[in-house]
Each structure stands twice: as C-alpha cells, then as structure tokens.
Amino acid sequence: MKRRNFLKGSLGTLYMMASPNMAFPDVKLSDKRLLVVLLRGGMDGLAAVPPLGDKNLSKIRKDVLVQGANDLDGFFGIHPNLKFLESEYQTGNAAFVHATSFPYTGRSHFDGQNIMETGSEQAYAVTSGWVGRAMNAAGFSSLAVSLPIPIILRGNDVNSNYFPTNFVKATQKQYAEVEKMWKSDSQLSGMLKDIRKRDEIKHGRGDTIDLVGFAASQMHKPNGPRVGLLEIDGFDTHALQGNEQGDHAELLEDLDNILRVFKRRMGSLYDDTVIVTVTEFGRTAFENGTQGTDHGWASSMILAGGLVNGKQVVSDWPGLSKQNLFEDRDLKMTIDARDIYAEVVKTVFNLEDDVISEHVFLGYSPEKYHGLLKKT
C-alpha cells in the first residue's frame, strides 16, 4: 500500500506559557504539561474504539467495519493501527471515553469546530477558546506559533503570536549591538528579549514528526511551554473510509506515531503530562452508499500520559439499535465532552470547580468527574 506523506495537510501550533501573567505575580505555575490534539473533520469513534460487544455494530456496518480490532475490556476494542495507545492502555497510561461530544447536533463542520474550540453551547456565541480561558484563569502568559491565534487558545489577557518569515535572522553580534543601544530603556530591552526568544522557535508548519519532536523538546524545558496544540486534518471520510486499512486507518496510525514520538521526547516529564483529543463530532453509525460515513454526533475521546488514570473505557453506552440512535442514524452523546475537559484543566492548571464553571466553560458546571486523571 502506498503511504502518503506523514500527516498530509496537518498543522502544528505551539502555545508558549513559560511565565505567569504580570497581573497575577503571586500565582504559582503548575509544572504539569498538556498536549491538545484537534482531530478535524470528525473522527469515527466507532472505528477507533469499536464497541465489539454491541451485536448491532456488524449489522449496520460492512465496508467500514474494523474486523481486526483488539479487545480492551471485554466490550470495547481498539483499532489495530493504534498500537502505541493500546500499549499505553495496558500499562495504565491511556484511557478512552465513548459516546461523548459537545451538545451540538447540527452536523456542520464550521459550527461544530467553532463549538469544540470555544466550549460554548452555541456556535459563534463567544470569541475565545476554553483552553485559552483556562490558562488565563491559571495566570499564564502565552505565545502561539501561528499567523492567526487558533480560537481554542484565545482568551488569554497576555496573549501574543509569532509566525516566522523568510527574512534572514539577526546574528548574535547584531543582537549585542542593539542590546547596548537599548539597555537603558526597560521597555525596549524587554522587547528585545522577547524577539530573541521568538527567533529560536521553529516554523509552525512542516513535517509533523519534526514538529512534535520540537514541541516535546520545548515542553521538556523547566521554563518551557506547558501546553502544546497539534491539529490533524482529514477525518471527514465520506467515501472509501476503509476499515483496518484505508484513509481513516492511516490517520489513526499517524496519530499513534505522533504520540509515540511525543512520549519518547518528553522523557520523565511524560509522567506529569496529559494528552487529550478533541473532534467536532463523530460519524454516522450506518455507512453510506460510497463506503464511507457522514457527519454524526457522538464519538470517542483519547486520553494519554502519566497523569491519566488509565486502563479504563468510560461510557454510558446508549446502544446501536436504530431506536437508540439519534435521529435513527447517529451515536447518541451520553457524556458531555466538557465534563472530561473540565477534569483535564482542573488537574493540569489546579483550577477550582467554580473557576472552571464561571471562567472556562462560561456557566456550564460539569455533571460529574469520571476519575480519568490521577489526583496529585
């Protein structure tokens, strides 16, 4: 099988958070790390983490049915291309959530992606993102390596972005000369330090293996960024989705390889790290007439890292019989994704429940925490 270039069309963005906001000088920064992976297009949770114990799965799927899934817990399985994540699950460093999504059923990529980034119940209701708001509440300043700051990262009061140009970088001698001229001006000298720091950052696009390696190397530093964001496109598999092989399977393999490299490069700090996936919606339970799946509602979520209370699949499984599907076609959401992300930001940023409700999810209070993260 001809392999395409690794993560064709993917984009990586680093979110730098090395120092507290000046507005919160007494805030003690968390040493925990967070990697958020956006799976754009709508990942098929029934393929990534198939409910092998639901007899209806093989009745409603044929060409996209994953026959070679490995068992996880006697009911759910895992796609054979997710070898690293299966290993992490068995060693207690990965967990999955199924039948989860945001409370959005409109099936529009534009609206769905806006909601998954803002954490709001309605599209375009707010202009900031839930990760950015969480970091602002925790007292972090930030630098995004991208031309526009992604919506999910917006909402930080001390927020800036940087995008490398093709101009030749200044030499150390040139920096030294400017430093002499600006040393008597605290604002200018501070600006120069910021410019030098940005010059050390790699381009935000490119080979994703290199990018995730760079992200991990930066996040591994004692004063490095606490949060990384990676985006993977291509999960909108309306035609020829495949099963153990095919487009969707390749995307899952790419994701698996990314996380494998990330763990290796993070070293011992992986023990204080959470990785979590975000997707705008799942796919239809039924396959369509072009051997693919269409926009659905609920999907599965992946959590990995040393802070994950792993070897569990959390789900209030609604079933795949037609009467149990949403509008006779979609897997129902039974766990609000915000409940899981609230537990993530509570753990990583040491935020209190009332702060999460008021400032991160703007009035939404999680129904319950599911014990997916270790108490530290």
Consecutive 10-residue averages of pLDDT for the chain (376 residues): 31 44 49 92 98 97 97 98 98 98 97 98 96 90 62 76 54 75 73 59 53 80 80 94 96 94 93 97 97 98 98 98 97 98 96 97 95 91
Please state the domain extents for the chain: 11-164+201-360
Report the alpha-carbon distance of residue 361 to residue 77 in Å, rounded. Answer: 31
Q: What is the pLDDT of residue 264?
A: 94
Question: Please, which residues have CB within 8 angstroms of residue 282's CB and are 6 or more apart in sequence?
Answer: 42, 43, 44, 45, 46, 101, 296, 297, 298, 299, 300, 330, 331
Q: What is the pLDDT of residue 128?
A: 96
Q: Which of 149, 119, 122, 143 lies closest to 133, judged by CA?
A: 119
| pTM to 2 decimal places | 0.84
Question: Tokens standing for 39?
Answer: 């799976």
Q: What is the pLDDT of residue 196?
A: 61
Architecture of the CATH domain 11-164+201-360: 3-Layer(aba) Sandwich (3.40)
Beta partners for 302? 96
299: phi then psi, degrees, rounded to nearest 5: -145, -160
Strand 11-16 vs strand 227-232: parallel, antiparallel, or unpaired? antiparallel
DSSP letter for each residue of 178-230? HHHHHTT-HHHHHHHHHHHHHHTSPPSSS-HHHHHHHHHHHHTSTTS-SEEEE
Report the alpha-carbon distance of residue 11 to residue 211 in Å, rounded. Answer: 9
CA–CA–CA angle 80, 12, 87 (5° rounding)? 25
How many CB atoms within 10 Å of residue 46? Answer: 29
**At residue 243, what is the residue type?**
N
Q: What is the pLDDT of residue 197?
A: 55
